């Protein structure tokens, strides 16, 4: 039987519950336990697929095609495992299930209520991943902040489960904030006391407090928190601000968060943590030998979470190359033919990000042209690949009116068109081409050189595709379709063999990059960016050039 760890949050949002949960999971995994994490989100959307990235950050897509919260990305990146639809549940999904059951007559004669019907469905889903013996430990992160109206049924479900399960089968970890008041030069514990009180009023008493803090928690302060919040002093954990999220598992290990959890869960046999690969990665991350600057062209740049997986993939790929990757945001709406050289001139590589809708598209096309004509390493992801196709059509094939029917439904040259199966779909939630699909690579391509094998499998989230009616024209002019779906012929990868590094992918490679397995396109793109800076240095410094000769 699996054991359950529940992670709640208090005082404010954005304390990094996902990172704490993922770090704890990493440590338990490193000690030889089979662990997975799930997130329960208290909003009414059935999934975050219909949310604007400005509201909620990136929508993370799993292998099985679930559109999920970005915390699942952290779970996969830390644990190097796949998550699935079952790992992210929202209030909307819970209600949808209960209401469907009610319509089917499952509760005939009964008044359907939050308690017990909604809470029963929450509990069923909380326990679900632990049913088939696949895992020793299920960590459940409860989204939102304790005290929110929305999260009440989830906390109530935790209360009931704690009552139902044997004492040693569950533990509650509460993440909280200990603010530092500059004027008083003091760390303040009152907000934490209040949030623990609130949680207790809802019937759940935390076993462990993880305290986010800017300053070290001295023993007397830990004692005070322990006393007032009624937890053991050893269970007051300091979570100091860390230079990177990847340091957090080691910080939590120093604080013995994993040991304290296992003690409460009565797990007495475990190994010394095996974190060799993790530590190697951290060393490379901390002591880079070179640096490149990558431009990320997108339109949701005000909120970094909108491109979370891309940014993390660069962290992984940078460490692999022992290279510091500085990502600079370039707002596509402000790029024009006149300022493009000035805006992109300092870059060593260009990424055009995924996206939807018309805004900012022309700037992206101008940026792709600059990369193509100046041998600047280029990497287009999903919409970014589609932009590269449109740019090539307009400026190389001379199809001036080339466009995607997403932006111009009446385009005379629809080089990017709506997928056939999408044409009859009207509902917006969960209806894109989602999840993992196979892609076959051409042997003599950059893509094959990068991956080293074929077929590959990557994850998707799109409605439009390369229009194969134009394929011959493109290939004759030097753009190669180097990856295709074997059953439908859908173009998954385009590249320019006469360019040092120019690749566009219809899928989202960033969703599969992990600390232990950095995504190969990102790794090779950084390699190409390094080569580009070296070439730039040679051109600028003739002495260096002659030395090289
Ligand atoms: N809007 C484009 C499509 O739906 C690209 C999607 C994306 O970048 N994720 O095909």
Q: Residue 499 catalytic?
A: no
Give 476 Cα–ligand 1 centroid separation in angstroms. Answer: 26
Range 515-541 average pLDDT: 92
CA distance 379 to 296: 10
How, if at all, do strands 180-181 and 186-187 pair?
antiparallel
Asked if residue 116 has pLDDT above 80, the reply is yes
Helices (H), 324-451: 340-344, 361-373, 383-395, 446-451
- The per-residue pLDDT for 56 is 76
Active-site pick, 174, 403, 462, 508: 508
Q: What percent of the chain has pLDDT over 70?
A: 98
In the structure, which protein residues have their CB atom closer than 6 angstroms to any atom of ligand 1? 354-356, 382-383, 406, 461-464
CA distance 342 to 277: 40
Range 275-283 average pLDDT: 96
Convert the pLDDT of each residue in 89-104 to its tens digit: 999 999 999 999 999 9
Residue nearest to atom 1 of ligand 1 (CA): 356
Counting from 1 in the atom list of ligand 1, the atom nearest the Cα of 355 is 8
Counting from 1 in the atom list of ligand 1, the atom nearest the Cα of 382 is 8
- The per-residue pLDDT for 389 is 98
- The per-residue pLDDT for 546 is 45
Is residue 349 within 8 A of residue 476, CB to CB? The reply is no
Q: What percent of the chain has pLDDT over 90?
A: 89
Q: Grade residue 542 by pLDDT with cuts at 50, 70 and 90.
A: low
Asked if residue 55 has pLDDT above 90, the reply is no
Range 132-151 average pLDDT: 94
CA distance 463 to 532: 34
Q: Residue 382 catalytic?
A: yes
Asked if residue 549 has pLDDT above 90, the reply is no
- The per-residue pLDDT for 212 is 97
Asked if residue 378 has pLDDT above 90, the reply is yes
Stronger pLDDT, 298 or 467, i.e. the higher one: 467
- The per-residue pLDDT for 537 is 81
Cα–Cα distance list, 170 to 2, 38, 107, 222, 546 (Å): 9, 15, 30, 23, 67
- The per-residue pLDDT for 548 is 45
Range 61-67 average pLDDT: 95
Counting from 1 in the atom list of ligand 1, the atom nearest the Cα of 356 is 1
Select from 78, 58, 76 the least CA-distant residue to 68: 58
Range 393-419 average pLDDT: 97
DSSP 3-state assignment of 382?
coil
How far does CA 446 lie from the centroid of its chain? 26
Q: Residue 323 catalytic?
A: no
How, if at all, do strands 137-142 and 35-41 pair?
parallel
Is residue 123 within 8 A of residue 158, CB to CB? The reply is no
Q: Grade residue 49 by pLDDT with cuts at 50, 70 and 90.
A: confident
Range 424-446 average pLDDT: 94
Q: Grade residue 1 by pLDDT with cuts at 50, 70 and 90.
A: confident
Return the exposure string of 427-458: e unless at least 16 CB atoms fall within 10 Å of the residue's CB, then b.
eeeeebbbbbbebbbbeebbbbebbeebebeb
Chain position carrying tokens 């209806």: 431
Range 179-199 average pLDDT: 96
Range 111-127 average pLDDT: 97
Range 440-453 average pLDDT: 98
Active-site pick, 67, 382, 462, 499: 382
Question: What crossing angle do the helices spanning 17-30 and 257-264 adopt, rounded to 10°?
Answer: 70
Is the pTM for the entire model greater than 0.75? yes
Residue nearest to atom 6 of ligand 1 (CA): 462
Question: To the nearest whole number, what is the mean pLDDT of the chain?
Answer: 94
Give 345 Cα–ligand 1 centroid separation in angstroms. Answer: 27
Convert the pLDDT of each residue in 314-343 to its tens digit: 999 999 999 999 999 999 889 999 999 999
Range 488-503 average pLDDT: 97
Asked if residue 545 has pLDDT above 90, the reply is no
Range 388-411 average pLDDT: 97
Is residue 525 within 8 A of residue 317, CB to CB? The reply is yes
- Mutational pocket test of ligand 1: of 461, 466, 505, 509, the residue with most ligand atoms within 8 Å of the beta carbon: 461
């Amino acid at each position: 039987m699996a054991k359950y760890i529940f992670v709640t949050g208090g005082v404010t949002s954005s304390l990094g519950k996902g990172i704490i949960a993922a770090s704890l999971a990493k440590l338990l995994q490193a000690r030889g336990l089979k662990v997975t994490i799930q997130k329960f989100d208290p909003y009414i959307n059935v999934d975050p697929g219909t949310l604007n990235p400005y509201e909620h950050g990136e929508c993370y897509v799993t292998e099985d095609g679930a559109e999920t919260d970005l915390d699942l990305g952290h779970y996969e990146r830390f644990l190097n495992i796949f998550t699935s639809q079952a790992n992210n549940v929202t209030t909307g999904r819970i209600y949808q299930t209960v209401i469907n059951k009610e319509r089917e007559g499952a509760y005939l004669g009964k008044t359907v209520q939050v308690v017990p019907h909604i809470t029963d469905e929450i509990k069923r889903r909380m326990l679900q991943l632990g049913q088939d013996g696949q895992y020793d430990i299920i960590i459940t992160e409860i989204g939102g902040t304790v005290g929110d109206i929305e999260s009440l049924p989830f906390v109530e479900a935790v209360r009931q489960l704690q009552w139902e399960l044997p004492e040693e089968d569950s533990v509650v970890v509460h993440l909280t904030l200990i603010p530092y008041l500059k004027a008083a030069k003091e760390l303040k514990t009152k907000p934490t006391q209040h949030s623990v009180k609130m949680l207790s009023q809802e019937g759940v008493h935390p076993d462990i407090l993880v305290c986010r803090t800017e300053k070290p928690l001295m023993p007397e302060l830990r004692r005070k928190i322990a006393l007032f919040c009624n937890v053991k002093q050893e269970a007051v954990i300091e979570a100091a601000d860390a230079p990177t999220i990847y340091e957090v598992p080691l910080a939590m290990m120093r604080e013995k968060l994993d040991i304290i959890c296992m003690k409460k869960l009565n797990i007495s046999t475990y190994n010394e943590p095996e974190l060799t690969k993790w530590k190697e990665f951290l060393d490379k991350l901390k002591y880079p030998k070179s640096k490149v600057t990558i431009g990320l062209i997108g339109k949701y740049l005000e909120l970094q979470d909108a491109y979370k997986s891309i940014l993390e993939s660069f962290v992984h790929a940078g460490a692999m190359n022992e290279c510091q990757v500085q990502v600079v945001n370039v707002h596509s709406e402000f790029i024009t033919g006149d300022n493009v050289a000035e805006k992109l001139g300092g870059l060593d590589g260009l990424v055009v990000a995924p996206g939807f809708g018309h805004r900012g598209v022309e700037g992206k096309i101008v940026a792709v042209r600059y990369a193509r004509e100046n041998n600047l390493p280029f990497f287009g992801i999903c919409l970014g690949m589609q932009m590269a196709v449109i740019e090539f059509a307009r400026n190389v094939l001379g199809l001036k009116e080339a466009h995607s029917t997403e932006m111009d439904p009446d385009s005379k040259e629809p080089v990017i068109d709506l997928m056939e199966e999408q044409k009859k779909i009207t509902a917006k939630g969960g209806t894109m081409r989602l999840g993992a699909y196979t892609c076959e690579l051409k042997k003599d391509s950059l893509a094959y050189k990068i991956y080293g094998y074929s077929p590959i499998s990557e994850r998707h989230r799109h409605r439009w595709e390369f229009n194969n009616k134009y394929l011959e024209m493109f290939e004759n002019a030097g753009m190669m379709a180097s990856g295709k779906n074997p059953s439908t012929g859908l173009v998954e990868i385009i590249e320019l063999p006469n360019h040092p590094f120019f690749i566009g992918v219809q899928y989202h490679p960033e969703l599969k990059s992990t600390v232990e397995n950095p995504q190969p396109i990102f790794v090779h793109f950084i390699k190409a960016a390094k080569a580009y800076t070296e070439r730039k240095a040679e051109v600028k410094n003739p002495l260096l050039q002659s030395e090289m000769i």
